[in-house]
Amino acid sequence: FAAFNIWSHLFLGWPLYLLGLASTGKLDSNGKPLDGRIADHFRPESPMFSPKVRGKIMLSTLTQIAALAGIGYVMYEYGAVPVICWYWGPYNFVNAWLVLYTWLQHTDPSIPHYGEGEWTWVRGALS
């Protein structure tokens, strides 16, 4: 069970976070509670983003779709094994590293945790 738990956090944690299914916070871009709404990183109308950045989110999502289509094309042309070795292996390693050091930063007892009325950008940068 422990090995599965480590694997699921390190390799599935980042994609689940991006999809809005894990640890996306409790408030929307206006400071209102999400109340069951999913705050993902791909939909321009996601409660995570303010209306002024919707065009940028749409562009980002379209480029992600194009990249996945390119990966699919390369898999079709060259097979799954080279893509797994040269793309998905390093991709999963980087995702695992990103999740691991983020988890370590968020759980380190020496890093202060500020309450809702205490936190500022300066305090966050200096802590």
In whole angstroms, what is the distance from residue 39 CA to residue 23 CA? 10
Model-level pTM greater than 0.75? no
Which bin fits 47, alpha (ψ -120 to 50), beta or left (φ > 0)? alpha
* pLDDT tens sequence for the chain (127 residues): 888 888 888 888 888 888 888 877 788 888 888 888 899 999 999 998 999 999 999 999 999 999 999 999 999 999 999 999 999 889 888 888 888 888 888 788 887 878 778 888 888 788 7
Which bin fits 44, alpha (ψ -120 to 50), beta or left (φ > 0)? alpha
